[in-house]
Structure 1
Amino acid sequence: MFDIILKRKEGTNVLKGIKLRLYPNRTQQNQLEQMFGNDRFVWNQMLAMMNERYQNNKALPFLGKFKLNYLLKPLKKEYPFLKNSDSSSLQVVNEFLTQSWKNFFQDKSGQIGKPRFHSRKYLKKSYTGKSIIKTAGKRYLKIPKLGYVKTSKTGVLQNTKVKRYTVVLEPTGKYYLSLQAEIPEPEKYSLTDKQVGIDVGVADFAILSNGLKYPSFDNSYFEKKAKVWQRKYARRRHLAKLLVLQDRNKKVLCPRSLESFTNWQKAQKSKAKCQAKAANQRR
């Protein structure tokens, strides 16, 4: 659990980023999987419509996020499973899509292309909402559509107003909740008129003039393990692809898919865990 101050607002409040670990149960995990898919589905549906509109007549006026939000109601009637998502998260999808199109139209260098379709094979899944999140005890939060979800300590949310939240499923299989919260401006520390010298070196990371030493950082163990699992992952996935192609060429009645081979998926998760441990130590 860590937090970063993002930016200062006018007045006595500041915006602060807070990241908490989530521990959803099996039912909530299935709900989250559908909510991730719903955001991806709305993005692809809206993008397909805007692409067709742009190809038919490039002189047509640009559709903003408010006009796209009007299309959510008929889309929910046609696809009732979209009602299982937080309605504000689907509006945020339209907001992100609108911003992507604006970046495309405003870019004169030609380096920014048109928005792309989202794939379900993307490892890091997430959705963002603007609804109210309530604390329910020291270890529980009430999240829209999910109910009460176990989390890390919620003491950091005291005297805060959540403006936006994001639920993320990392490639390691862990769930996190990132919050953009508004908090009172912290008190400024008074100067002590004391000085300290810092010597940054190779043998030691830093040596202070008051005698404190900070040893150099070494995470070679997890980096080596990550490289080993990277090779295993690449080899296993390559073999799985060959078997899938073999079934297609032989025209098997029930051909195997790439997702049916769990060996390379296990290696992928082990590789992600080692990379995350090295990144956390470095951070």
Structure 2
Amino acid sequence: MVLKGIKLRIYPDKQQVEHITLNFGANRFVWNQMLDMIQQRYDNNPDSDFLSAYDLNYLLTQLKKEYIWLKLAESTALQVTDHDLIEAYKGFFKHIRKYPRFKSKKFPKQSYQCKFVKNNIEVVDDHFIKLPKLGYLRYRAGRKIVGKIKAVTIRKSSTNKYYAVLSLDCEN
């Protein structure tokens, strides 16, 4: 089995565009809040192994209670953001990557990733895909989608076009 990526051009309606924009903002907000929390935790106790001892998903539930609008965002996307932040910090301490930086709304390319859980991502036919919290989206692809879906990344390009990148587990 091999992981394969297929890029689809999606055509969301106005309500779906608003929800995608909300997800971009929620993921950026969670990244910045968690990064600030990690920096404060490290400044208070630099000797401890704070990354392995502290799971950020517990902080995510507290953030959702404090900021109610985060409940409108896709939950697995927020979990992926937490995981990516932890991996960025681990890479920094292993001297593989640069220090994680705060995300800006002004960056022209925006994206978020959703995990496949309980059939929440589904290709309906050759023209529609069902995504979590977005519903059915019309898409165009140059080939058939064959394989088991692992995740989907929703991206907005600098030219305001929307894409869904499917990670498929398929045979070589």
Normalised by the length of structure 1, the TM-score is: 0.57
Q: How does 1:187-202 map to 2 (within 5 A)?
A: none
Q: Distance in 2 between matches of 1:112 and 1:145?
A: 33
What's 1:212 paired with?
none
What's 2:74 paired with?
86
Q: Distance in 1 between matches of 2:43 and 2:98?
A: 15
Q: Which has the higher contact order (CA 8 A, sep 6+)?
A: 2
Q: Distance in 1 between matches of 2:131 and 2:61?
A: 22
CA contact (8 A) 2:24 2:110 kept: yes
Amino acid corresponding to residue 69 of structure 2 in structure 1: F
CA contact (8 A) 1:65 1:95 kept: no
Q: 2:158 aligns with which of 171, 187, 190?
A: 171
1:72-94, Cα deviation, whole Å (9 max, x unpaired)? 11111111111112211111111
Amino acid corresponding to residue 105 of structure 2 in structure 1: R
CA contact (8 A) 1:36 1:126 kept: yes
Q: Distance in 1 between matches of 2:21 and 2:50?
A: 32
1:45 Cα deviation after fit: 0.4
The answer to whether residue 45 in structure 2 is matched with residue 57 in structure 1 is yes
CA contact (8 A) 1:64 1:98 kept: no
What's 1:146 paired with?
134
The answer to whether residue 109 in structure 2 is matched with residue 124 in structure 1 is yes
Shift in CA distance, 121/103, structure 1 to aligned 2, threshold 3 Å? same
CA contact (8 A) 1:40 1:118 kept: yes
Normalised by the length of structure 2, the TM-score is: 0.92
Amino acid corresponding to residue 132 of structure 2 in structure 1: P
What's 1:199 paired with?
none
What's 1:73 paired with?
61
CA contact (8 A) 2:126 2:144 kept: no
1:201-225, Cα deviation, whole Å (9 max, x unpaired)? xxxxxxxxxxxxxxxxxxxxxxxxx
Q: How does 1:131-280 map to 2 (within 5 A)?
A: 131=116, 132-153=120-141, 156-158=144-146, 160-185=147-172
What's 1:268 paired with?
none
Identity of aligned residues (%): 43
1:62 Cα deviation after fit: 2.3
Task: Show structure 2 runs of 5+ residues with no match.
Answer: none
Amino acid corresponding to residue 37 of structure 1 in structure 2: G
1:96 Cα deviation after fit: 0.8
Q: Distance in 2 between matches of 1:51 and 1:71?
A: 14
Task: Show structure 1 runs of 5+ residues with no match.
Answer: 1-12, 186-283
Q: Distance in 1 between matches of 2:50 and 2:90?
A: 9
Aligned residues: 169
Q: Distance in 2 between matches of 1:178 and 1:66?
A: 31
- Give runs of ≥4 in structure 1 deviating > 6 Å: none
Q: Distance in 2 between matches of 1:64 and 1:38?
A: 24
